[in-house]
Structure 1
Amino acid sequence: MLDKAGIRSGVRIHADKAYCSQKHRDALKSRGIKNGIQDKAAKNGPLTRRQLQRNNLIAKARYVVERTFGSQARWFNAKILRYRGLALAHAWHTLLAMAYNLKRLPRLFADRRIITQT
């Protein structure tokens, strides 16, 4: 999957602890990709303080993206992809992103995050 995605070396990949395995860490390392996979506690063994801090940092970075997906799921019932094929899936996600941005636009103007030039 990493090869198909065309991810450059030096980029950090963030993922939740479901992807925490030596196989995934080795795959990232062999491609020169920085590991941003959250650590998972071993059975009957809690995470160290450093691992907890690292997981929190990764979670903060992932939240920025995950909240967008959560909002799309709530607002547009976009929990599953209803199309087969890359072209239709891409079109669906493009339209979903446009709808998401249009829904947020009034709030962005109200918060003055978007500066208009007159």
Structure 2
Amino acid sequence: VLSRFRTALTEKKALDRLLKIINDQLSNHGVLVQHGAVIDASITPTPRRPKGKKSYDLREDGTISVSHSYQKGVDPEASWTKKGHNLYYGYKRHVLIESKEGLVLAVTTTKASSHDGAHLPILLDKVSLKAGSRLYGDKGYSGLPNETLLKNKKLKSAIQKKGNRNHPLSPAAKRFNKFVSKTRYKVERVFGSIKRWFRSSGARYIGLDKTHKQHVMESIAYNLYRAPNIILKGF
């Protein structure tokens, strides 16, 4: 029964609406007050990664064809990505959180190989940030398209500056990045708390839509878990 109910919620894409309804209620009670927002992404690995073998076939014309065979149970909608020196197979959780208390405002899910910076427009379309709000992000979100997007939405950019070999960061840019990091770290706390509190070490389901459902459910649980302590701090 629970499995069928979760499947129905996934098919109707109801959990994103539920997250918004709960956040609206938290806002009405003064728990969720938007001072700004932080964006970031984290990898959700899946244990259903391919462990296939290659087979080679020599044709009559002398060419060789290579085919891949995978074991059953592989999640075909996930993808590989590299972080540091490690390879991961799975998905990415992209979140937008409130910059003071760190409550989750919006979530989207992609393959692990997807670039972080391309999903800022999707997350911003899911929320209504006040004009003049500051948006914090790491260097993965830097670039003219996102800066233009924030300007058009009348939001202040606090995206860290990115240098390169020919144009190293100036001292002012380094100070700006340090200023941003003092707020941006809160999103790492969200990822860590979800993993620790809800034992969310990887994807529990197969497929992009069902993994997104998991991400949204964990975000709802995180906000509700944090809400009583935020209320108590106000007394």
- TM-score tier, shorter chain, comes to 0.5 to 0.7
* Cα 1:55–1:33 shift into 2, 3 Å: same
Which shows bigger deviation, 89-98 or 47-56? 89-98
1:72 aligns with 2:198: no
Task: Please say which structure displays the higher CA radius of gyration.
Answer: 2
Paired residues of 1:9 and 1:33 also in contact (CA < 8 A): yes
Secondary structure at the aligned position of 1:5 is classed as: coil
* Cα 1:68–1:10 shift into 2, 3 Å: same
> How do residues 1-118 of structure 1 correspond to structure 2 at under 5 angstroms?
1=122, 2-80=124-202, 82=204, 84=209, 89-98=215-224, 101=226
Q: How many percent identity over aligned positions?
A: 31
Count of aligned pairs between the two proteins: 105
* Cα 1:70–1:91 shift into 2, 3 Å: closer
Greater share of helix: 1
**Larger relative contact order (CA 8 Å, sep ≥ 6):** 2
Secondary structure at the aligned position of 1:66 is classed as: helix
Greater share of strand: 2
* Cα 1:79–1:97 shift into 2, 3 Å: farther
Q: Give the Å deviation of 1:48.
A: 0.6
Where in structure 1 are there 5+ consecutive unaligned residues? 106-113
Paired residues of 1:13 and 1:36 also in contact (CA < 8 A): yes
Letter in 1 for 2:167: G
1:57-115 per-residue CA deviation (whole Å, 9 max, x = no partner) reads: 1011111332232233245443556563677643332224455x5xxx8xxxxxxxx67
Letter in 1 for 2:148: D
Letter in 1 for 2:135: I
Q: TM-score if structure 2 supplies the norm length?
A: 0.37
Paired residues of 1:13 and 1:37 also in contact (CA < 8 A): yes
What CA RMSD, in Å, does the superposition of the two structures yield over aligned residues? 3.0
Which shows bigger deviation, 1-10 or 58-67? 1-10
Secondary structure at the aligned position of 1:13 is classed as: strand
1:32-55 per-residue CA deviation (whole Å, 9 max, x = no partner) reads: 000011001023332111101110
